[in-house]
């Protein structure tokens, strides 16, 4: 119970001593996206969108609008499968933290302890490269992201990708800066973490994720497995801004970018981050409340600029304090597999509320944020400077 109390206290600005008497704050009235969905889709030239909302720690609405596949005239639904881009990293962090929780990985031990042979060029900084730093993007590693492999192209193995990712300009993963001395987004770090998980568990990452996180949370249509010639059932088609359908790209870096999921499934996972109806606690038995509290704690030297200015990174999640009476913390992560897959997840632990936005169009990068900026005022928790009149303005655009 103390760990659960601390997990809530992190977000409402109270100390452990007063946490026992602090009740979760109430979110405002639920909004529906039915009124704005059509204008959002038209404005950003996106075929379809799925929006899921969580209240009181449980899924209360999954709305879908537009098309999953225009050529086949298939409507978008809450069970449509989409690529979720870098939201994969937050889900993968659950898998890795389960290994930490089970005593298989020490969060603060060098990853060289777990991976043999070591796949990176040897560096004097290797002893400082820990899972804590990798999950918070403070490990000093390079390779920001991956573009994936087009149909017909062989997908590299994890080790080959680390040695020179063909879908990242041939870059080999290496430690370029002193670990723990600053934040720099690194999808490559999550690829190293994926190899670490496989090394200590003896399982391929997609199977490990299914057994430890996806299946226990009831995420039955979600998988890190990369398709061959047979695509996942109910998979949407993604589209360029001009309406051209785009090919499905596959990823060697599955933990960084390879998750397929649905609105219903991701909403279950976001809800599991929060206090639910009794006796549901954060983590829902997959992770303990204490582990969730660790993940939602800002990490050392993790000041970031991901989506919102002034954010800090936890373990698998970005965190930003809202402007408002209680200075509540928002946990979030964007997902981008360009050009056509864009998503966003957000959670307010102090309000027990959350949001999932999934899109299948190039303009989804903007649509998802406008949807978030429509949702946030209804939570009564405060705001961020980037949300203005229901629209999102990126920090860089303010200069």
pLDDT of 127-141, one tens digit each?
999 999 999 999 999
Beta bridge partners of 332: 318, 346
Query: Could you tell me the two tokens for 369?
Result: 């944020």
390: confidence class by pLDDT, cuts 50, 70, 90 = confident
pLDDT digits (tens, 9 = 90+) for 242-291: 999 999 999 999 999 999 999 999 999 999 999 999 999 999 999 999 99
Query: Is residue 200 classed as helix, strand or coil in its secondary structure?
Result: helix
Q: What pLDDT shows up at residue 31?
A: 72
Per-residue pLDDT at 34: 87
Orientation of helix 87-101 relative to helix 263-272, angle to 10°? 40
Residue 24 has a pLDDT of: 65
Indicate the average pLDDT of the chain: 92
User: Per-residue pLDDT averaged across 77-96, rounded?
Assistant: 98
Q: By three-state DSSP, how is residue 303 classified?
A: strand
Give the pLDDT confidence score for residue 167 in this predicted structure.
98
In this prediction, residue 1 carries a pLDDT of 44
- 1-41 pLDDT, tens per residue? 444 454 444 443 333 333 433 556 765 556 788 889 999 99
195-214 burial: b if 16+ Cβ within 10 Å, else e: bbbbbbbeebbbebbbebbb
What's the pLDDT score for residue 225? 97
359: helix, strand or coil:
strand
Listed range (93-102, 200-209, 339-348, 388-397) with the worst mean pLDDT:
388-397
Q: Once rounded to an integer, what is the mean pLDDT over residues 331-344?
A: 98
Q: What pLDDT is attached to residue 26?
A: 62
Phi then psi for residue 280, to 5 deg, are -70, 120
Residues in a beta bridge with 175: 141
The 10s digit of each residue's pLDDT in 175-216 is: 999 999 999 999 999 999 999 999 999 999 999 999 999 999
H-helix segments, 81-157: 87-101, 131-135
Examine the pLDDT at 42 and tell me if it is beyond 50.
yes
User: Domain coordinates of the chain in residue numbers?
Assistant: 24-398
pLDDT at res. 397: 45
CATH architecture of 24-398: 3-Layer(aba) Sandwich (3.40)
């Amino acid at each position: 119970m103390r760990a659960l109390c601390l997990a809530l206290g992190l977000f409402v600005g109270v100390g452990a001593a007063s946490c026992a008497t602090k009740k979760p704050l109430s979110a405002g009235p639920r909004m529906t996206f039915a009124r704005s969905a059509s204008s959002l889709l038209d404005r950003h030239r996106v075929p379809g969108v799925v929006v899921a909302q969580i209240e009181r720690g449980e899924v209360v609405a999954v709305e879908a609008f537009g098309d999953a596949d225009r050529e086949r005239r298939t409507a978008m639904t809450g069970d449509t499968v989409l690529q979720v881009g870098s939201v994969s990293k937050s889900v993968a962090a659950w898998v890795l933290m389960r290994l930490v929780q089970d005593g298989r990985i020490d969060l603060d031990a060098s990853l060289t302890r777990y991976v043999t042979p070591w796949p990176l060029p040897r560096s004097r900084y290797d002893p400082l490269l820990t899972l804590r730093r990798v999950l918070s993007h403070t490990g000093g590693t390079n390779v920001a992201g991956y573009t994936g492999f087009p149909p017909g192209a062989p997908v590299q193995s994890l080790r080959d990708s680390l040695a020179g990712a063909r879908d990242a300009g041939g870059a080999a993963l290496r430690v370029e800066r002193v670990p723990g001395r600053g934040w720099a987004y690194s999808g490559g770090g999550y690829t190293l973490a994926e190899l670490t998980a496989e090394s200590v568990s003896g399982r391929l990452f997609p199977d490990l994720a299914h057994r430890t996180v996806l299946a226990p949370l009831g995420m039955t249509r979600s998988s890190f497995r990369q398709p061959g010639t047979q695509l996942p059932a109910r998979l949407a088609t993604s589209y360029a801004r001009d309406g051209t359908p785009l090919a499905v790209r596959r990823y060697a870096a599955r933990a960084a970018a390879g998750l397929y999921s649905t609105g219903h499934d991701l909403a279950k996972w976001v809800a599991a981050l929060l206090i639910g109806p009794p006796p549901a606690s954060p983590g829902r038995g997959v992770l303990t409340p204490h582990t969730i509290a660790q993940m939602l704690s800002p990490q050392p030297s993790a000041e970031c600029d991901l989506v919102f200015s002034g954010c800090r990174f936890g373990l698998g999640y970005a965190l930003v304090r809202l402007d408002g009476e209680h200075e509540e913390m928002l946990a979030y992560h964007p997902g981008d597999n360009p050009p056509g897959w864009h998503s966003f997840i957000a959670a307010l632990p102090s309000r027990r509320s959350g949001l999932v936005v999934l899109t299948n169009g190039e303009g989804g990068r903007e649509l998802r944020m406008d949807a978030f900026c429509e949702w946030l005022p209804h939570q009564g928790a405060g705001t961020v400077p980037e949300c203005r009149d229901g629209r999102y303005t990126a920090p860089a655009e303010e200069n």
